[in-house]
Structure 1
Amino acid sequence: MIKTRQQLHQIAELSGKEYKTASFVTDFLKKCNPTSIHTNIGNTGVIAIWESENFDATKNKTIAFRAELDALPIPEPNDFEYKSLHDGVSHKCGHDGHMTILLGVATYLRDNFEKVIKEQNKRVILLFQPAEETGEGALQMLEDEKMKNLDLKIDYFFALHNIPSYEKNLIVCRENTFAAASTGIIIEFEGLTSHAAEPQNGINPALAISELTTFLYFLSENTIKEKQNKDFVLVTVVDAILGETSRKSLDEIAFGVSPAKGRVCATLRSYLNEDLELLSKKTEQKAQELSKKYSLKLKISYTEKFAATTNTKESVRMIKKAAQNLELEYQDKKQPFSWSEDFGQFTERFEGAMFGLGSGKNTPELHHSNYDFPDEITQTGIDMFVELIENVE
């Protein structure tokens, strides 16, 4: 499995372009004798199913697990032999490790089909999702007619994520919100250009950009002060541009032109989906107010939308029991993680939960250029999923 993880690491691909990765996963799964394999779901998604001939979804249980196919647009400075072969793209979130864990479960299902699938009459689904990093892949799969036609009546849906800064092999979970909801919002203003010597003859969006940036900077703080939110909220301005965005150097800036265009981009984040809607509404209202105040055209769009990942009570109980059976240390997390996870789209529709798997206190943080998934925790991930399969009632 370590060799498998390293091979996946080498072929790291960006969200929506996981063609080699999906092909690798599919070829591996075929050797594990699933009842059926379904590919190209939601673009590059893969689903493998193990079930008995007599399986009845109305009487027998279906348990599903998810891993992510995509990598990140981060150059890899590591010099190990299995470093990414694709310049500027690497597995800096550990999705190579998550896939490997699921492929380890596939190997277990191959070797224990009679005992687990046939005799206990269970159905197990392994789902490999594209585009998790952009928040698009889960919904793409769920809305794909190929997946809808499978009519998968999933009773329990699980996923894990490795967590640096936690002891290796520690299981971390909590009921309700596990990971935050978030979205990127893009506000674009457009006025009229004019000569820089005659700015009064044009409409420059500089003041609107300035006021909106300041508003967003204090939005979460003011929302909390006014007690309008129900839980954690956070707004981060990630980009603000005035003038032609194609300018790449100071030499290309048109100092003789008062610009017409400007944009502000921010990430809105909260523990509850309803609080995220509140932040979006307040941001849109402010943008519309500034558009009217300065006679500017306005365009608002969203990107990388993540629903909150919400864990159900029963699924968390099953995770805790699995950890206890394996004699693993378990920790109830007091607060949700502030990062977002595309698995929230699945937990909105199915009973399920995500848990954290500690990947080491000295492991570089997720998305750090020096991060590399620690192979020592792979077996623990496999064991947790296998325990969940064997104990589902």
Structure 2
Amino acid sequence: MNAIAKQLDTEAMRQWFEHMHRHPELSMQEQRTAEFIAETLRSFGGYEVETGIGKHGIVATLSAGSGDKTIGLRADFDALPIQEQNNFAYTSTVDGVSHLCGHDGHTAMLLGAAKYLTDTRNFNGTVRLIFQPGEETMEGGPAMIREGLFERFPVDAVFGMHNIPGLEEGKFYFHPGEMMSAVDNWEVEIVGKGGHGGLPELTIDPVVAGSSIVMAIQSIVARNVAPANRAVVTIGAFIAGNAGNVVAGNAILRFSVRTTTQEDREMVLRNIRRIIDHQSQSFGCTSEIRVGVPGAVLVNDRQETEKAVSIAQTAFGEDQVIYPGPSFLASEDFAFMLQKKKGTYCFLGSGPGKMVHHPEYYFNQQIMPIGAAYWVALTEGYLR
């Protein structure tokens, strides 16, 4: 652990983290969480705190010295619609909602850095702390941008970070260029004709049609995406009926499509529409596609990535920084911020454990001072 990490208020970070973990709120519904974050920032003194940006977004600004450079640091704070299956003293108190991606930890780390920065002011310029809602649904980043995030709060570069189980605890992983995929979240309703399970000839079964669609969709990536590229289609929900002896009247499919090139994205989505339409008709059903908020490929600026790598190596040692690191087919709406401003996004390894979005995932609190120290080092290094 480096010198900065040893000076951070780790007990405060633990308390902030556990409070948010107990009281999770879904994407774009994070009113209480936003109020907690804003109140905590104001308690530090020194920050200009603006709230309500993109519904629940917050920007806290702190200046020191006479420098004219400005850096943006971003953390997310929304939770997931998943029932937590852990048994901690701070387990979620909200049925069916929990922080199983570590956004509570991300926010606690940035708050820890915020307190240290206002206490020390060992930089020359301006730091803007961006606390973003709605990452899981790809809504929060675009909402803040639409409401003038970078016009109202200009930055020269913007940086993000995410914990990743399975990567070595406490190490930083940087990747130049395309690091995470675009995502498209769709819902499809297949409408048939319900009836008695023993009289199928009087029904039109949407479950059979939906099952055929699920299997056919899986062939798109395997047979249409070049092996050198990467893409995946995941059907995460298939909802129909509630009794074994009843043919349901309709079925719902919810799925995500992840691609790494615009050409593949257009082709995959086009083929999905074709399959849904034709398969539904072949079984006598109708279908309706409801399109969610599309994501974007997260592209790190090479120069800013190398600058962040150098700062991290100086602060933590070269053996703690992996460059180039891995890329993933997960998605992040920080991609939209990187379309507007140069910057980079990195992973912080959290060691062994269940992957994010698993009911038994837990955020490794041991990495909180390391993540917070990175934010401090990046600010002090960028704003020399």
TM-score normalised by length of structure 1:
0.84
Q: Which residue of 2 aligns with 1:357?
A: 348
Letter in 2 for 1:130: P
SS state of the match for residue 44, structure 2?
A: coil
How do 1:160-199 and structure 2 match up within 5 A? 160-190=161-191
Structure 1 residues 386 and 274: alpha-carbon distance in aligned structure 2, compared to 1, 3 A threshold: farther
Alignment of 1:226-265 (within 5 A): 227=226, 231-241=229-239, 245=240, 247-250=241-244, 253=246, 261-265=250-254
8 Å CA contact 1:9–1:91 kept in 2: the answer is yes
Deviation at 1:378, TM superposition (A): 1.3
Aligned residue identity for 1:306: G
The verdict on how the C-alpha distance between 1:296 and 1:364 changes in structure 2, with shifts beyond 3 A counting, is closer
Contact 1:236/1:268, CA 8 A, preserved across alignment: yes
Quote the residue 1:338 is aligned against.
329
Task: Return the letter of the residue paired with 1:22.
Answer: A
Correspondence for 1:21 among 25, 28, 33 = 33
Q: 1:137 aligns with which of 127, 132, 140?
A: 140
**Partner of 2:272: helix, strand, or coil?**
helix
Q: Are residues 1:12 and 2:45 paired?
A: no
Cα distance in structure 2, aligned partners of 1:167 and 1:53:
37
Larger radius of gyration: 1
Helix, strand or coil for the counterpart of 1:370? coil
Partner of 2:126: 123
CA apart distance, 1:172: 0.6
* 1:106 alignment partner, one of 106, 109, 114: 114
Unaligned 5+ runs, structure 2: 1-12
Q: Conserved in 1, the CA contact under 8 Å of 2:173 and 2:325? A: no
Q: Does 1:33 align with 2:45?
A: yes
Q: CA deviation at 1:209?
A: 3.1
The residue aligned with 2:312 is 323
Distance 1:373 1:190, change over 3 A: closer
**Deviation for aligned residue 1:193:** 6.1
**C-alpha distance in 2 between matches for 1:89 and 1:206:** 28
Q: Distance in 2 between matches of 1:336 and 1:318?
A: 19
Kept after mapping to 2: 8 A contact 1:92/1:369: yes
Question: Contact (CA 8 Å) 1:184, 1:266: kept in 2 or not?
Answer: yes
Q: How far does residue 181 in structure 1 lie from its aligned partner after superposition? A: 1.6
Q: Do the aligned partners of 1:273 and 1:307 also contact (CA within 8 Å) in 2?
A: no
For 1:287 and 1:367, locate their aligned partners in 2 and report how far apart those are by CA, in whole Å: 27
2:74 match = 66
Other-structure match for 1:348: 339
1:288 alignment counterpart: 277
Match status 1:387 vs 2:381: no
Task: Give 1:384's aligned amino acid.
Answer: Y
Contact 2:197 2:244 survives alignment (8 Å): no
Distance 1:293-1:129 versus aligned 2 partners, 3 A rule: same
Alignment RMSD (CA, Å) = 2.8
2:59 is matched with which residue?
A: 47
Measured after TM superposition, the shift of residue 190 of structure 1 is 3.4
Query: 1:29·1:106 contact (CA, 8 Å) conserved in 2?
Result: yes
Q: Which residue of 1 aligns with 2:8?
A: none
> What is the count of residue pairs matched by the alignment?
369
Report the identity percentage.
29
Deviates more, 1:180-189 or 1:103-112: 180-189
Aligned 8 A contact 1:34 1:48 in 2: no
Please tell me whether the aligned partners of residues 177 and 272 of structure 1 are also in contact (alpha carbons under 8 angstroms). no
- TM score, norm. by length of structure 2: 0.85
Equivalent-residue separation in structure 1 for 2:302 and 2:330 (angstroms): 21
Cα gap change, 1:91 to 1:220, in 2 (>3 Å): same
Quickly say closer, same or farther: Cα 1:159–1:249, change in 2 above 3 A.
same
| CA distance in structure 2 between the aligned counterparts of 1:371 and 1:207, rounded to whole angstroms | 34
Query: Offset at 1:293?
Result: 5.2
Distance verdict in 2 for CA 1:211–1:23, change over 3 Å: same
Give the Cα–Cα distance (whole angstroms) in 1 for the partners of residues 237 and 34 of structure 2: 33
Cα displacement string for residues 56-108 of structure 1 (whole angstroms, at most 9, x for unaligned residues): xxxx2221111111122333343332222223322221111110111112112
Deviation at 1:195, TM superposition (A): 8.0
- Note the alpha carbon deviations across 1:157-190, whole angstroms, 9 max, x for none: 1111111112211111101122222222223333
Deviation by residue 1:119-142 (Cα, 9 ceiling, x = unmatched): x2x221111111212222111222
* Aligned-pair CA distance for 1:202: 6.9
Distance in 2 (alpha carbons) for counterparts of 1:391 and 1:53: 14
Distance 1:207 1:75 in 2: 29
The Cα shift of 1:295 comes to: 6.2
**Structure 1 residues 265 and 78, CA gap change in structure 2 (3 angstroms):** closer
| In 2, Cα distance between equivalents of 1:211 and 1:158 | 43
| Conserved 8 A contact 2:174-2:325 | no
Please report how far the alpha carbon of residue 277 of structure 1 lies from its aligned counterpart in structure 2 after TM superposition.
2.5
- The residue type paired with residue 4 of structure 1 is W
For 2:356, which of 343, 366, 379 is the aligned residue? 366
